[in-house]
Structure 1
């Protein structure tokens, strides 16, 4: 049923964005997918985390661009620090969506903001609307395509969760940060 929920969420998001004529409506199809992949059941904290991160990253990027765009070295340093925090947040399950959304949307915003004709306020407001539309879209997906209930109760198992070693987590964060920074630098050097 998870596949059906993801399909429905993306299709419904696309339909909503087309009905309202949102310029950057592809996020209305993309954001429900982020939530539906993360959880098999409705999770209010997940939706709150998504909307808060969208608002937070748009404010962060707006401030970075507003204050540091004329100073490339300061801008690159500030972007590097912001991206590093997002990569570290992705290392923990409870803040994964926060880091992933911030990294993805932050990268897109920073790259588009380097164009003179790009309206960062319109983009931010479109993102906020897409984020707010995600909750009812995913709620409908969970309602229409619920997770099947098991007839026999599952035996209780001990949680033998494999934890990542600290060096592995540092390597993954460093690799994510390096890729994000290379993309940022290449995009800004080409322009």
Structure 2
């Protein structure tokens, strides 16, 4: 790749680029200035919008199933990580390979034993959140939690072709890496990104973050299974994304921003459908409006500091709505309203679980957070 600046920065800092992922303020180093976007921030906006649009175009032209994977994965890789290096790529691709193996074994062997399957899922989530809490492999853990949650949920339905689901996920992940490499080639950073200061965590804090994340993610999986919420992908993703803050208080802020971002994304998608109306068969018009929408939310995402906030909520909402096809025959009004209402209920439920776990874990010395 010709992305000289990020490569040089990551080469000097080893895996520090990977360690920077947990801190939202570090996710978009040099992304904004007092007067707005910096050169690096503008180029990251172009990468996020361009990558998300290219994934959408390819999935639509090829007619692949599970278009959401192809629209959201490039946003995840380009939006939540401000650099692209060998460590980032290895984490991203090794995670998807492991996910395919895990889902195949868990669903294939334990589908008829829901209690045992739930315990195994809990173990997988705890392992991922432990990696996230420790820092260096945050991307591996975060991508694993999000993807594993979605794959396990959909794979449990008898009508779903498991091989098609896993193949689409694998293809979308590999394509996302190539799209990211292309975007960094076309829009490289102008200045090297500075590595953030490394924080230290106590063993009790790591245990606290691991347990609160793993247990909440498992309960989310169980609820979506029991209630048969197959069409609530936005809500399911929202319950996982707010866990990336690794704590209840951070999740509160993230949930509020996520709700606002989803509402704005739904409204913008509705406006776009009204603008297109019966012209949605003009693919160029759809692409243009989609890219403009992604640019708008990408800018907000960078100005927020690069975490899972309003901007990223709008980005993923647009990706989900467009990834599941946009046309005059589709009732996007119902789809958007359903997504926002289900996501709001899911976020309230997730925060309720997290606050209970937060206070329970603080009553036990090995998982007690130090008061600041």
**What TM-score, normalized to structure 2?**
0.47
- Aligned residue for 1:27, secondary structure, equals helix
Which has the greater radius of gyration? 2
Given that residues 103 and 152 in structure 2 are in contact (C-alpha distance below 8 angstroms), is that contact kept between their aligned partners in structure 1?
yes
* CA deviations over 1:132-167 (Å, ceiling 9, x no partner): 1112211111122211137xxx9x99x853222332
The CA deviation at 1:124 is: 0.5
Instruction: Give the whole-Å Cα distance in 2 for the aligned partners of 1:3 and 1:181.
Output: 33
RMSD between superposed Cα atoms in Å: 2.2
Paired position in structure 1 for 2:89: 47
Match of 2:200 among 147, 150, 163: 163
Paired position in structure 1 for 2:141: 99
The CA deviation at 1:38 is: 4.6
Match of 1:22 among 64, 74, 93: 64
Unaligned 5+ residue runs, structure 1?
none
**Number of residues of Structure 1 aligned to a counterpart in Structure 2:** 186
Given that residues 40 and 147 in structure 1 are in contact (C-alpha distance below 8 angstroms), is that contact kept between their aligned partners in structure 2?
no
Unaligned 5+ residue runs, structure 2?
1-42, 229-372
Matched, 1:63 2:105: yes
Instruction: Give the whole-Å Cα distance in 1 for the aligned partners of 2:82 and 2:152.
Output: 32
The CA deviation at 1:26 is: 1.6
Instruction: Give the whole-Å Cα distance in 1 for the aligned partners of 2:77 and 2:161.
Output: 27
User: Structure 1 residues 39 and 187 mapped into 2: Cα distance closer, same or farther (>3 Å)?
Assistant: closer
**What TM-score, normalized to structure 1?**
0.87
Instruction: Give the whole-Å Cα distance in 2 for the aligned partners of 1:143 and 1:163.
Output: 34
The CA deviation at 1:16 is: 1.5
Paired position in structure 2 for 1:175: 212
- Aligned residue for 1:90, secondary structure, equals helix
Once the two structures are overlaid, the 10-residue window that deviates more, 112-121 or 32-41, is: 32-41
Paired position in structure 1 for 2:189: 147
Given that residues 86 and 100 in structure 1 are in contact (C-alpha distance below 8 angstroms), is that contact kept between their aligned partners in structure 2?
yes
Instruction: Give the whole-Å Cα distance in 2 for the aligned partners of 1:92 and 1:5.
Output: 28
Instruction: Give the whole-Å Cα distance in 2 for the aligned partners of 1:160 and 1:115.
Output: 45
Instruction: Give the whole-Å Cα distance in 1 for the aligned partners of 2:82 and 2:141.
Output: 20
Instruction: Give the whole-Å Cα distance in 2 for the aligned partners of 1:160 and 1:189.
Output: 43
